[in-house]
Structure 1
Amino acid sequence: MMQLDDITLNAAREHQWAEGLGRQLERNLRANLAQALPTLRVMRAEGEQANALTLRLNVDQFQGRFDGVAVASGQWQLLNDAGELLAMENFYAETPLAEDGYPALVRALNDSWDQAAERIATEIRQGDYFD
Structure 2
Amino acid sequence: MMKWIPVAMALALSACSSTPDTTYYQLPAAAGSASTISTTATSKPILWIEHVSVPDYLAGNGVVYQTSDVQYVIAANNLWASPLDQQLQQTLVSNISAVLPGWIVSASPLDEKHDTLNVSVSGFHGRYDGKVIISGQWILQHDSQLIKRPFLISLPQDEDGYDALVRTLAKGWQQEAQQIASELTRLN
| Conserved? CA contact 1:77–1:85, under 8 Å | no
Q: TM-score, normalised by structure 2?
A: 0.61
- What's the secondary structure of 1:14's corresponding residue? strand
| Conserved? CA contact 2:92–2:174, under 8 Å | yes
Partner of 2:113: 51
1:5-64, CA deviations, whole angstroms, 9 ceiling, x for partnerless residues? 111122222233222222111111101111112222111124x62111110000010000
Inter-partner Cα distance in structure 1 for 2:88 and 2:157: 19
Partner of 1:63: 125
Inter-partner Cα distance in structure 1 for 2:147 and 2:86: 24
Uncovered stretches (5+) of structure 1, i.e. residues with no partner: none
What are the within-5 Å matches in structure 2 for residues 110-125 of structure 1?
A: 110-125=170-185
Inter-partner Cα distance in structure 1 for 2:177 and 2:121: 12
1:62-119, CA deviations, whole angstroms, 9 ceiling, x for partnerless residues? 00011011111110101246xx552110122222111111111111111111111111
Uncovered stretches (5+) of structure 2, i.e. residues with no partner: 1-63
Identity of aligned residues (%): 36
Count of paired positions:
125
Q: CA RMSD in A?
A: 1.7
**Match for 2:95 among 6, 21, 32?**
32
| Conserved? CA contact 1:68–1:97, under 8 Å | yes
More strand as a share of residues? 2
**Match for 2:139 among 57, 72, 77?**
77
Higher Cα Rg: structure 1 or 2?
A: 2
Runs (4+) of structure 1 exceeding 3 A deviation are: none
